[in-house]
Amino acid sequence: MARKKFIFFGRVQGVGFRAVAKMLAGKYDISGWVKNNDDGSVSLAAEGEEENIKNYIAHLKRFFHNNIERMEESEEGEEGGEGFTIQY
């Protein structure tokens, strides 16, 4: 199991990013969370098989290719729970 954290920058709030991230998480068997940040970016923590995370993020980037200006990736130390949630 891998766990990674991503921060997406660009026009990623108010475009359905969190809802799509949650929907796609089920398709790729990803648990974790997604939330809007005060600076207009979106943070996402994903836990699952390494290949599933890679394909999940690639799908998100394709879906929002016009909105994402850049993305930062890091290893996430905390262990996730069950399912995938939208945090407020």
Show which residues are catalytic.
18, 36
Helix (H, G, I), strand (E, B) or coil at 13: coil
The secondary structure of residue 88, as a DSSP letter, is: -
Here the tokens at position 6 are: 């991503």
Q: What are phi and psi of 53, to 5 degrees?
A: -65, -45
